[in-house]
Amino acid sequence: MEGVGGGLGLSLLLCIETSCDDTSAAVVEIAAEATTIRSSIVSSQHEFHAAFGGVVPEVASRRHTELLVPAVAAALADAGAGWDDLDAVAVTTGPGLIGALLVGLAAAKAIAYARRLPLTPVDHLQGHLAAAYALGVEAPFVCLTASGGHTLLAVVEHGVEFRVVGRTLDDAAGEAFDKGARLLGLPYPGGRELDLLAAAGDPAFVAFPRSLPRGFDFSFSGLKTALLYYLRDHEGEVEIEARRASIAASYQEAIIDQLVSKTVRFAEQEGLRRVAVGGGVAANSRLRRRLTDACEQRGLEVFVPPVALCTDNAAMVGLAARYLEPLAWPHYLSLDAYAAEPALGEPRRRP
């Protein structure tokens, strides 16, 4: 199904994403043959949350209200676009932090209503998996989406319609990175810090357990506990202090083994030849390398979006909006945000 771009020819979209702690705005051009990212602004709030060691929802909402207007202005300026050039607005409506989402949604509604434009609500997970479209992937493809809140293995059947085949039974992969980083004494946001530290380490230094739940589900909470016990058992040892990079690399490897092995096994089993990845964890340098190698070894075509399209950003909202029906002016005014992903089989909410 083609949305904004399909019937209308060329459209210029203002896209907004505020589901967590990144205030993002982008201008994306949808044409019949391709979607072009004209600008993408991400105002990270990390410095405001670092003191708390994690995202504080109330702080995130307040910062979005301060940062969103300048982010939108910068996205328009970078794209060389004015308000009159816009044809539609697209915005993430969930899942995520409800207060944070509402800031982006209220702004998107206000802009769209004032300009008499249609508005496209976009699911955050659909945004993450649409990032691969920037590389020209064609559906159907297997997509591993791993972020701070979700770990999903899915088949993208067409556009941004997906069928979930595996999900985490406990912590999300990003949570495993963040909790591991915290145990290793790394600053927030932990995933990227752990990635950097691990780069200098030996991934075979500690044989952390590989939990392999049945089918294509994932599990990371046992691994986190194994790291906790390992560090407790070796506390104060000089050797251990010197090998922190290797402990980080071993922990990271256990997460990545699970993600990569299940993804390629599923693709092979289903006979799907295209594999993509998305979400903040897909920014991980080791995961990018290992997934690419594993796919190439098996003759699978792999799509690893640029880091800026993996971590939260508004350009992916535009990439997804291409495939979604916009709501006509002014029928989106009662549209609500949602914190949790709808249960399997339940429709995504529309007003």
Q: Least Å distance between CB 133 and ligand KG4?
A: 17
99 counts as binding ligand KG4 under rule CB under 6 A: no
Rounded to the nearest 5 percent, the helix, strand and coil shares of the chain are 45, 20, 35
Report if residue 190 touches ligand KG4, rule: CB under 6 A: yes
Instruction: Decide which of ligand KG4, Zn ion, none touches 192; Cβ closer than 5 to 8 Å per partner kind.
Output: ligand KG4
Give the nearer residue to Zn ion in terms of CB position, either 206 or 315: 315
| Beta carbon of residue 283, minimum distance to ligand KG4 (angstroms, whole number) | 4
Paired sense of beta strands 161-167 and 274-278, if any: unpaired
Site string for ligand KG4, 152-181 (x = CB under 6 A): ----------------------x--xx---
Q: Which is nearer to ligand KG4, 176 or 275 (CB)?
A: 176
The interface with ligand KG4 within residues 303-342 (CB under 6 A) comprises: 311-312
Question: Judged by CB under 6 A, which of 79, 153, 186, 281 binds ligand KG4?
Answer: 281
> Taking the CA of residue 73 as centre, how many other CA atoms within 13 Å lie in the half-sphere pointing to its CB?
5
Residue 51 sits at φ, ψ, to 5 deg, of: -60, -25
Contact call for residues 189 and 22 (beta carbons, < 8 A): no
Distances (CA, A) of 52 to 59, 149, 339: 10, 18, 22
312 binds Zn ion (CB under 5 A): yes
**Spatial CB neighbours of 100, under 8 Å, sequence gap ≥ 6:** 18, 19, 20, 21, 57, 60, 61, 64
The yes or no reply on residue 147 touching ligand KG4 (CB under 6 A) is: yes
Nearest CA to 283 out of 165, 123, 148 is that of 148
Q: Is 178 in the site for Zn ion (CB under 5 A)?
A: no
Among residues 20 and 302, whose Cβ is nearest to ligand KG4?
20
Q: Which stretch binds ligand KG4 (CB under 6 A): 76-84, 107-115, 190-198, 241-249?
A: 190-198
How far is the C-alpha of 350 from the C-alpha of 174, rounded, in Å?
29
The sheet carrying 141-146 orders its strands as 161-167, 151-158, 141-146, 274-278, 301-303
Nearer to ligand KG4, 302 or 327 (CB): 302
Distance of CA 263 to the CA centre of its chain: 17
Which residue in 284, 302, 304, 326 binds ligand KG4 (CB under 6 A)? 284
Q: Which of residues 228-257 bind ligand KG4 (CB under 6 A)?
A: none
Nearest to 59 by CA among 6, 7, 103, 24: 103
**Site for ligand KG4 contains 192 (CB under 6 A):** yes
93 binds Zn ion (CB under 5 A): no
Residues forming contacts to ligand KG4 in the complex (CB under 6 A) are: 20, 147-149, 174, 177-178, 189-192, 195, 279-281, 283-284, 311-312
Residues forming contacts to Zn ion in the complex (CB under 5 A) are: 147, 312
